[in-house]
A = this chain, B = another copy of it.
């Protein structure tokens, strides 16, 4: 099972989108996610590096959406949080004296890449805005 950071990141962005332009504190967000504020800040720091959110320190500070919810796709989010490949190769290099051991990784690499790309393309069909509309159908979203 892939870690929960992807799901938590979607949750956080939905909150920020729903409350926009109100900045939210990591403490408030952690209350909705039901975890520790530091866990939220760690994930939000990655999203800030990717240009999706901004933060303000000090009293009255918090986190605010910068990207449009319509433009944030689950596929893009997945790539931000989980760079590299989803499939793991051998832990130790296979035996190169065996023809199969020698060729297996090269043979698999492209198949794995294509499969992961198919998953990400499918994820790209969903946006944060779409999820918020599903969860809060009556809400009128304000956008950055």
Copies, count: 2
A79 on the B face (CB < 8 A): no
Question: Which residues of chain B come closer than 8 Å to A52, judged between CB atoms?
Answer: none
Q: Which A100-140 residues have C-beta < 8 A from chain B?
A: 100-105, 107-108, 111, 114-116, 118-123, 126, 131, 134-136
The contact string, 1 if C-beta is below 8 Å from chain B, for chain A 1-22, is: 1111011101100110010000
With known contacts A1-B85, A135-B103, A34–B122 Cβ distance under 8 A = no
Which of A6, A86, A98, A119 counts the most chain B CB atoms within 10 A? A119
Interchain CB contact under 8 A, A32 and B88: no
| Contact of A94 with B126 in the complex, beta carbons under 8 Å | no
